[in-house]
Structure 1
Amino acid sequence: MMKPLHGKVALVAGATRGAGRGIAIELGAAGATVYVTGRTTRTQRSEYNRAETIEDTADLVTAAGGQGIAVQVDHLVPEQVEALVKRIEQEQGHLDILVNDIWGGENLVEWNVPVWEHSLEKGLRMLRLALDTHLITSHYALSLLIKSNNALIVEMTDGTAEYNQQHYRLSMYYDLVKNSINRMAWALSEEVKKHGCTAVSLTPGWLRSEMMLEIFKVTEENWQDGAATDPHFIISESPRFVGRAVAALAGDPDAARWNGQSLSSGQLAQVYGFTDIDGSRPNCFPYLVEVIEAGKPADVSGYR
C-alpha cells in the first residue's frame, strides 16, 4: 500500500535530536522525503557538544521508510537558510510540510531566577535561538511552501496556549519563548490561510528526549525505572509520539480545521487514534493539572 505521505516533501528544522528527530522519523515512516537540519554533524559539533548528528537522524528517516536528507544549517544565518530552501526547490520542486523545532536553550535557562538576576547574555541568546531562528526560517521557506496545496506549518513549543497562560514557566525568558511560539503560529495561520495552508503550534508532553533520559539515568528501553526518581515520570512520552501527531496532521485532508490552534500530542492522539511506541496514549497536560498540581499520588489510570 502507498504510504500516506508518499510524494510529500518536509523540512524539519532542528532535527538533530529530541522532538525534531522523532518528528522526522515518523514523517519518513509515512513515506515523506524529509530534509533534516541542525548544526551538529559527524565532523562538527554545536555549542551543545552532544553526540547526536543530523546524519544519524537522516539515516533513521530512511530506515523508517522515507528518504532522509541531512543539511547542516545554522538557522540564525539567513544566507544558510535561503540556500537550504533554494536547494529544496531545485531538488524537489515543492515543499509541503515545515516543522520549526529549533530550540537550543537547555543550557541557557536559569530556572527560578528573576529576570534582574538571570544572565542577560544567556537570556538574549535564548531568545535568538528560539525565536529569531523560526522567523528567519519562515521568511525563506513559506514563499515555497504556500505554492503547495494543503501545506502544513508546525511551530513546536512547550505547553499549550491555555496551559501557559495559567502557569508561569519558571523563567522569564523561557516563559516568553514558549508563549511567543504559540502566538507566532496563530499569526502565521492568519497569513497563510488564504493560500490554503494550515499553521498550528504543537507541544509534546513530558518528553523523553536524549537529555531527559540522561537526567533520569535510564534508556528508552527501561524508561519506566525513572519513576524511582520521580513517580510522575510514568506520564512521559517518547519523541516518536509527537512525531506521530505531526504525521497525522500532515496526512489529514481536513487539517485546516486546526488552523491557528495550539495543540498537544496527547490531544491529537485522542482524535487520530495513534499511540506511542509502547502502544499507550499518554495525555500529559490534563495529568499535570489534575494529578501533579492537585497533589495526588502518581497514577496514570485514564491518562495513558
Structure 2
Amino acid sequence: MTGPLQGKVALVAGATRGAGRGIALELGAAGATVYVTGRSTRARRSEYDRPETIEDTADLVTAAGGKGIGVPVDHLDRSAVRDLVTRIADEQGRLDVLVNDIWGGEKLFEWNTPVWEHDLDNGLRLLRLAVETHAVTSHCALPLLLSRPGGLVVEVTDGTADYNRDTYRVNFFYDLAKASVLRMAFALGHELGPRGATAVALTPGWMRSEIMLEAYGVREDDWRRALEREPHFAISETPRYTGRAVAALAADPGVARFNGRSLSSGGLAREYGFTDLDGSRPDAWRYLVEVQDAGKPADTTGYR
C-alpha cells in the first residue's frame, strides 16, 4: 500500500520532539520522505539537555512507513540551513512541504513577568529562536519549494489569530513570538499564493508533549492522572493530532483555499474527519474560550 504523500518530500524544521516529531511521523505514515532537523543528536544534546534526538525522530518516521532523514541543524546558522536545502535539492530534486516548527523557548520565558523585569538576554534569545529561525529557513528553502507548483508551508505557533489577538499570552516576549509566527503565515500567503504555493499558520491545542507530560509527572499511557492537578487538561491532545492535521493539508489538492489563514488541529479535524490516537477529536481552542477562560468547571462534553 502507498500513502497519499508517496513521492512527496517534506522538511520539518524543529522535529526533535513535541509537535515537530508528531508532524514528521504522520507525514511519514502518509508515505513522504521527511527531513527532520534539530540540535539534539545522539552525540550531543542542545541546551535543553533532553534525551530526545533527531535520529530517534527519523527512525520513527521510517518505522511509520515513510523515509526519515535526520540532519543536525541550528536554524540560526544561515550557512547550515543553506547546506541543508542544497542537500535536499541534490538528493530529492524537490521540496513539497516546509514545516517551520522551531521554538526552543521553554527555558527562556518567565510566566506573567513584565518586560522590564524579565531577563533581557533570555527574552531576546527566545525571539531569535522562535522568529528569526523561521525567517532564515523560509528564505533558504522557499526557492526549492517554489520550483514545483502546489507547495505547502506550515508555520506552527501557539494560539489562533482570533484568540491571540484578544488574549495576552504569558509575557511580552512569548506573546510577541507567537503573534509574529501567525503574521508570518499571513505574509507568506501573500507572497506564495500568486506563485502557486500555500502558507498557513497552525496551532496545536493543549498538547501532551514530552515536556508537558514530564511537568505533570505522567506518561502518555496514564496522562489522565494529571487531571487531579489540572482538570482542564482533559481537553489535551497528542502531538500526532497536529501531525494528522499537517498530513491532511499536504494531501489536499484544494489546500489553497486556506492560504494565509490561521488554523487549529481541532478545526482541521472537523474539516477532514481525522481523530487523535484514541479516536477522540479534541477542539481545544473552542473549549478554552467557552469553558476554561469562561471560568466554568472542566467538562469536555461536546469538545472532544
CA distance in 2, matches of 1:68, 1:139: 23
What secondary structure does 1:94 align onto? coil
Please name the residue that 1:80 is paired with: 80
- Percent identity, aligned pairs only, is 67
1:277 match = 277
Q: Which residue of 2 aligns with 1:2?
A: 2
The whole-number CA distance in structure 2 between the counterparts of 1:288 and 1:226 is 18
- Could you tell me how far 1:194 is from its partner in structure 2? 1.5
- Unaligned 5+ runs, structure 1: none
Secondary structure in 2 aligned to 1:15?
A: coil
The equivalent residue for 2:190 is 190
Write the letter of the residue equivalent to 2:237.
Answer: E
Structure-1 residue corresponding to 2:230: 230
Q: Tell me, in whole angstroms, the C-alpha distance in 2 between the residues paired with 1:201 and 1:79.
A: 26
How far apart, CA to CA, are the structure 2 residues paired with 1:47 and 1:218?
23
Q: Deviations over 1:157-207 (max 9, x none)?
A: 000010000100020000000001000000001111112100000000001
Give, in whole Å, the separation in 1 of the partners of 2:165 and 2:141. Answer: 29
Question: 2: distance between equivalents of 1:162 and 1:299?
Answer: 23
Give the equivalent residue in structure 2 for 1:23.
Answer: 23
Q: What's the counterpart of residue 288 of structure 2?
A: 288
Aligned residues: 304
Structure 2 match to 1:149: 149
Describe the superposition over 1:76-102 as per-residue Cα deviations: whole angstroms up to 9, x where unpaired. Answer: 000000000000000000000000000
Structure 2 stretches of 5 or more lacking a match? Answer: none
CA distance in 1, matches of 2:93, 2:288: 43
Give runs of aligned pairs for residues 176-187 of structure 1, distance below 5 A.
176-187=176-187
How many Å apart are 1:149 and its aligned residue? 2.0
Deviation of 1:2 (Å): 2.4
Farther off after superposition, 264-273 or 145-154? 145-154
Work out whether 1:54 is the aligned partner of 2:54: yes
Specify the alignment match of 1:64 in structure 2.
64
Deviation of 1:294 after TM superposition, in Å, equals 1.3
State the Cα RMSD in Å: 0.5
Distance in 1, matches of 2:33 and 2:148, equals 15
**C-alpha separation in 2, matches of 1:50 and 1:117:** 28
Match of 1:298 in 2: 298
Q: Distance in 1 between matches of 2:2 and 2:114?
A: 53
Q: Which residue of 2 aligns with 1:218?
A: 218
3-state SS of 1:34 partner: strand
Distance in 2, Cα, partners of 1:290 & 1:160: 15
1-side partners of 2:148 and 2:228: how far apart? 48
What are the Cα deviations for residues 223-259 of structure 1, in whole angstroms up to 9, with x where unaligned?
1111111011100000000000000000000000000
- What is the TM-score with the length of structure 2 in the denominator? 0.99
SS in structure 2 of the partner of residue 221 of structure 1? helix
Distance 2:147 2:137 in 1: 16
Match for residue 41 of structure 1? Answer: 41
**Amino acid across the alignment from 1:204:** P
